[in-house]
Each structure stands twice: as structure tokens, then as C-alpha cells.
Amino acid sequence: MAMNWTKASLAKTIDHTMLKAIASEQQIVELCAEARTHGFASVCVNPFWVPLCVKELHGSKILVCTVVGFPLGANNTEIKAAEAALAVKQGADEIDMVINLGAIKSGDWKLAEEDIRAVVKASGKARVKVIIESCYLTEAEKTKACEAAMKAGAQFVKTSTGFGSGGATADDVKLMKKIVGDKLKVKASGGIRSYHDAIQMLEAGADRLGASSGVAIISELPE
């Protein structure tokens, strides 16, 4: 799937991300300004910053994406659903939720699926991306996690939080794409820092990239 990427076309695949604990209001405002300047798909921020991003991006086409049950996925389902519902009420367009990894490791796929379904339901019209944190899963578990996301009605599966023991790999993206086919989209995130990393993930089948280095990634391209 080799494409002639331009700054603009590549920017549209990137969720411009700032999830570090110590991000300041000024840094979030700058994140939104960069997203406007370059035309990124969205800004991806912690839930506390959703109202500020909605305000900063008002009148633009840039989406506001936030995270739920982040970064461990170990919150109770009711809390994840409430967190998603509040974020959507405050104006979030996309919800990146962490799957219940403890349930997966215990073989409780019913719980893992119901957890996603509750967030999907609570998110209403907002898109839900399910972070499977692939660095911790076997191939069989990655497969079943993607299947759970499909059954539960999510719109995306996503590789990583960026806070785990590893980030996105082209092999994981290929596997996830193979499982979900055209039913869901795939987001690669975690460790994507250069144009080379980005293209590798897109050619492996990713539809969206989560990156805090979005500006650096597209700077390697002509307009």
C-alpha cells in the first residue's frame, strides 16, 4: 500500500498526543495550536483536558480524543463507562479505552468483552478505540482481544498505551489488521517517532497513528 505521502495527507492519520502526567495547560494549548497548524486528525489528551481542547479547537475539523481506564485498564467497568460518558458530554469525539488486561490473563473473555461493550454504549456517537496493550499479550490473546473489540461494537483496535513495556510493532499491526479486516480500523501507537516509523505502520495496515512527535514526523515531507 505504498502511497505518495504529503505533509497534509500524513498529518490526517495522526492523533497528536500528549498524555504525560505533568503536561501543563500551556502545553495543551500549544498541542491544539500545532494540531490546527498542521491539520492532524485529533489531539489525544487525558480526560481532565477535554474541555480545554474543545474550546481551543472550536471551529476546526480536528477531533478531541481522550483516554479511558488509562493506562492499566484495571478500573471497574462502571468507572470506565462513567469516565467515557463524562468525556463525551464534555465534547470528546473519540475514546481510547484500555482493555481489561487482568481479565484477559485470567481467561475471562466474557468480562473483557462486556467491559468494552459498556464503554461503547456509554460513548454514544463517539468512536471507541480499544487499546489491547499488545506488548503483554500472546498471539492468541491479541487475536481474541481484537475479536472481543469487534463483538462489543468498537470502531478501532489500538496497539499500545505508550506506557507499557513496549510500543507498536509492524508485526502486531499486520496481525490486528488481518483479524479485523474491513470491520474495524487499526491505530498504531507507542514509540512512533520518525517518518520511517510512521510509514512502516501505515504500510503494515494502520489507519491512524498515535504520536507525540507528530510535528517531527511530518517535517520530513514536502507540503
pLDDT tens for each residue of 144-189 = 999 999 999 999 999 999 999 999 999 999 999 999 999 999 999 9
The pTM of the full predicted model, rounded to 2 decimals, is 0.97
Average pLDDT over the chain reads 97
Q: Which of 109, 142, 112 is nearest to 97 (CA)?
A: 112
For residue 76, the Cα-to-chain-centroid distance in whole angstroms is 20
Report the percentage of the chain scoring pLDDT > 90.
Answer: 96
Query: Is the model's pLDDT at 83 over the cut of 60?
Result: yes
Instruction: Give the per-residue pLDDT at 4.
Output: 86
Measured between alpha carbons, how far is residue 74 from residues 19, 45, 64, 112, 140 in Å? 18, 19, 24, 11, 21
The H or E element spanning position 94 is strand 94-98
Residue 3 pLDDT grade (very low, low, confident, very high; cuts 50, 70, 90): confident
CB 13 within 8 A of CB 41: yes
Residue 2 pLDDT grade (very low, low, confident, very high; cuts 50, 70, 90): low
pLDDT tens for each residue of 88-100 = 999 999 999 999 9
Alpha-carbon distance 47 to 55, whole Å? 14
CB 42 within 8 A of CB 35: yes
Instruction: Give the per-residue pLDDT at 146.
Output: 98
> Catalytic residues, which ones?
96, 158, 187
Alpha-carbon distance 191 to 169, whole Å? 9
Cell 463483538 -> residue? 151
Residue 7 grid cell: 505533509
Query: Is the model's pLDDT at 56 over the cut of 70?
Result: yes
pLDDT tens for each residue of 4-49 = 899 999 999 999 999 999 999 999 999 999 999 999 999 999 999 9
Instruction: Give the per-residue pLDDT at 1.
Output: 47
* Domains contained in the chain, CATH given: 7-218 (3.20.20.70)
